[in-house]
Structure 1
Amino acid sequence: MVIGGTDTATVAEKVARVQELVRAAAERAGRDPASIRIVGVTKTLPPDANATVEAAWAAGLRDFGENRVQDAAKKVSTLFTAVLEEGATLHLIGHLQTNKARDAVRLFSLIHSVDRPGLVDALQRRAEREGKRQDILLQVNVAREEQKHGCAPEEAEALLRHAAAQPNLHVRGLMTIAPLVDDPEETRPVFAALRSLRDQLQEATGIALPELSMGMTNDYEVAIEEGATIIRVGRAIFG
């Protein structure tokens, strides 16, 4: 079926393929596939690609992610209208500027990219004004890539303690972005390091951190084997 130039059957097939690979990776790691959330990254879709998103929803996708607050603001009343009414969860997975905190709190259920105390403070102020308890993840630059955002691993405990002390923020876990490499196996140490850091932080602080957001189209199977609970998949679903 083609609607507005979009082959919705292909979208459904792609979602099914990702779901099958997630299941297989989880089983290799002795994990329950249901414990892994697939976030369909829609940053490349225009605001009028409703049929594509609705086809992904019909195929079982329940979580959608955007990189930029301003793009999501345009799409909430267009691209995501139907799926949000059905209960979809919207994620912010890209870098968040402090001056966009207000709109981020208004738009997103889960913000993956909290990486500095000033942003924590801005989100707390906005969430308090909105009367909302905002779910967040702390972004850690495990690979220490200069071009990537995220706090350094040694800064994560202080950031966690600061964020966890905010009454209107709920730290759910950690996020990282692995280097883009040809061989996904090369990303395994990065994902293992984030899992290890999560375990260390839980032990040091007593704060539960159930979520690990790690893995994208090129490496999500490895991420699942290393403990990912949220994967961010764009190209494999939406092209």
Structure 2
Amino acid sequence: MSDTPLIVPHDTPPLQQALAALQQRMAAACQRSGRDPASVRLLAVSKTVAAPVIAQAWMAGQIDFGENYVQEALEKQSLWPHIRPHDGDSARPDPVWHLIGPLQSNKTAVVARQFAWVHSVDRLKIAQRLSDQRPEGLPPLNVCVQVNVQGEIGKSGVPLAEAQALCAAIALLPRLRLRGLMVIPDPDRGASATRAAFEALAALRDRLVASGLQGLDTLSMGMSGDLEDAIAAGSTCVRVGTALFGARTAPPAG
């Protein structure tokens, strides 16, 4: 694959153009790092994005959607059966919903029922509640442990020094599947600090694997402005909103 700009027909809808351009960015970053583009998942961050727009992205081939606010996500999920485009392609899977924002204890039950992934687990209490409340008829809930790599005061994420013990405890919970780690670096610290945070998360994953933890196939790191650095550091899931959907409106409560 080359870095030649992707030629998109002028009559292609804007969202499809954005998705194609984003996919090319990811593929080019993978090529520079000697990685298979299929090894990096695109998670479309759809917070504040209207459900019909999510449906357009789904029609363009996007499957994974990340939401920050539980109530907003539940409203979109409830609308999906009514707005799902009926294009005759019954083989296309429905959206896979990921929670990527902070999770409060009083919302774990509905999240355990309605989501396929939670990227923001940072306390054993939350993990235990998710495991206890995951319905038996569903597969284990995929989770990532959010790590506060940079030690930011008041920010979500388990401290780096405590992450290995938390991961080991979560891996024992019966209705969860520990998939990996997530980080959100502070952009105000600059690009070099962001790259260092990505590298620290990858190194932590390597230590966890060396300790005997199995199935850690996910590094959830990288967003619109830094996905190339994240992919270079080993990201397997980039969380992209602005580059796909445009600038955000004010977030809702919940």
Normalising by structure 1, we get a TM-score of 0.89
TM-score, L = length of structure 2: 0.84
Distance 1:79 1:10, change over 3 A: farther
Q: Is the 8 A contact 1:53 1:79 kept in 2?
A: no
1:108 maps to which residue?
Answer: 115
1:169 to 146, 163, 176: 176
Partners of 1:27 and 1:38 lie apart in 2 by 16
Secondary structure of 1:170 counterpart: strand
Partner of 1:10: 14
Q: What is the alpha-carbon distance in structure 2 between the residues aligned to residue 59 and residue 74 of structure 1?
A: 22
* Equivalences for residues 33-182 of structure 1 within 5 A: 33-46=37-50, 49-50=51-52, 52-78=53-79, 82=84, 86-127=93-134, 132-181=139-188
- SS of the equivalent of 1:177 reads coil
Which amino acid in structure 1 is aligned with residue 25 of structure 2? L
When the two chains are superposed, the root-mean-square deviation of aligned CA atoms in Å is 2.2
- SS of structure 2 residue aligned to 1:189: helix
Structure 1 pair 18–128 and aligned structure 2 pair: CA distance change class (3 A): same
Displacement of 1:221 after TM fit? Answer: 1.2
Q: Distance in 1 between matches of 2:189 and 2:211?
A: 36
Given the superposition, is the C-alpha separation of residues 41 and 138 from structure 1 closer, same or farther in structure 2, using an over 3 Å criterion? same
Tell me the residue number matched to 1:21.
25
Asked whether the 8 Å contact 2:113–2:135 carries over to 1, the reply is no
Aligned to 2:231: 224
Is the 8 Å Cα contact of residues 181 and 205 (structure 2) preserved in structure 1? yes
Shift of 1:120: 1.2
Consecutive aligned runs of 4 or more in structure 1 exceeding 6 Å deviation = none
Once residues 69 and 48 of structure 2 are traced to their aligned partners in structure 1, the CA distance between those partners, rounded to angstroms, is 11
Q: CA deviation at 1:217?
A: 1.1
Q: CA deviation at 1:186?
A: 3.8
Measured after TM superposition, the shift of residue 8 of structure 1 is 8.3
In 1, the alpha carbon distance for the partners of 2:113 and 2:47 equals 18
How far apart in 1 are the matches of 2:105 and 2:78? 24
Instruction: Report the counterpart of residue 4 of structure 1 in structure 2.
Output: none
8 Å contact 2:63–2:93 — kept in the other structure? no
Give the secondary structure class of the aligned counterpart of 1:232: strand
Q: In the alignment, is the contact (CA less than 8 A) between 1:134 and 1:170 conserved in 2?
A: yes
* 1:92 CA drift (Å): 0.4
Is there any run of 5+ residues in structure 1 with no aligned partner, and where?
1-6
Shift in CA distance, 90/234, structure 1 to aligned 2, threshold 3 Å: same
Deviation, 1:185, is 4.4
Give the counterpart letter for 2:151 in structure 1.
Answer: R
Partner SS, residue 217 of structure 1: coil
Q: Aligned AA for 1:91?
A: H
Please, which of 31, 34, 53 is the counterpart of residue 30 of structure 1?
Answer: 34
Deviation at 1:125, TM superposition (A): 1.0
Aligned residues: 230
Between structures 1 and 2, the one with greater helix share? 1
Amino acid corresponding to residue 113 of structure 1 in structure 2:
S
Using the alignment, how far apart are the partners of 1:206 and 1:200 within structure 2? 9
Using a 3 Å threshold, how does the CA distance of structure 1 residues 183 and 79 change in structure 2: closer, same or farther?
Answer: farther
Shift of residue 79, structure 1, vs aligned partner: 5.3
